[in-house]
Amino acid sequence: MHNRFLRSDPFLVLNGDTLLDIDYGRLLTKHSKARAMVTLALTQFRTAAATAM
Amino acid sequence: MLAAANQSGKRVSIWNLSNESAAQKRMSLFGTTGMLSEFGELFPNLQAVILCGGWHSSAKIACREHRNRLLLFGRPFLEYLLCDLVAAGIHNIVLVRAMAEKRSARISARERSLRRRFNTRRRREPRDRWGAEKCTTAFCAATRFSS
């Protein structure tokens, strides 16, 4: 997939069935500063709330 | 990818959004475009990949009341994501929908297990009428995206 479609480095990957309240700029800043290969943006949800959304 | 990162000795960074304060979250709501404009020089063609070839199973409870699983308050689910990315200044978006086109045996087995728990007819309907592909095609036709 990378060769065929992805032409930027880094790139964002999002789930198509999840709505986000996230600052992409800050995410990229953290990724850049950490010099990491992968940066995961995670949050905690109660199971019931997560499946309801 | 994570395994590859670990094997290569490169770090996996984790941003825990649960630690963000309400004020920070509000700032992030209104400050996205400005912060990304600073990144425009570093990542001019930043690309986003949306994985939308699944069964939209995360929304199964919310959509039980609705006729269409992929509609949320009358708008296609993908439209929220696409608008959010455009507002953040990301215009280069790839929609991955391979699973919807070529269902593997594993997905079929998952569908069978879902069928036992939910109304099958309602689940099938959006794939024919308002599935991810059709929602996206309609959205792309109305905007400057190309799918």
Contact with chain A for residue B14, Cβ under 8 A: yes
List the structure tokens of B52.
Answer: 């939308």
Residue B59 DSSP one-character state: G
B125, B45 Cβ separation under 8 angstroms = no
Structural domain range at position B137: 43-147
How far apart, in Å, do the first and last CA atoms of chain B sit?
26
The mean pLDDT of chain A is 74
Q: How many domains does chain B have?
A: 1
Closest approach of chain A CAs to the CA of B5, in angstroms? 6
What was the ipTM of the complex prediction? 0.80
Which residue positions in chain A have pLDDT lower than 50?
1, 52-53
Amino acid present at A13? V
All residues of chain B having their beta carbon less than 8 Å from the beta carbon of residue A6 are: 47, 49, 94
Residue B9 lies in a domain: no
pTM of the model: 0.58
pLDDT, one tens digit per residue, over B43-69 is 667 788 877 766 565 555 454 544 445
Residue B20 lies in a domain: no
Residue B3 lies in a domain: no
Helix (H) or strand (E) holding B12: strand B12-16
Give the count of Cβ contacts less than 8 A between chain A and B. 151
The pairing of beta strand B47-51 with beta strand B92-96:
parallel
Contact with chain A for residue B16, Cβ under 8 A: yes
**DSSP one-letter string for A12-23:** EEEETT------
Instruction: State the Cα angle at A44 between A33 and B118, rounded to 5°.
Output: 130
Residue B32 lies in a domain: no
Q: Which of A28-32, B2-6, B26-30 has the lowest mean pLDDT?
A: B26-30
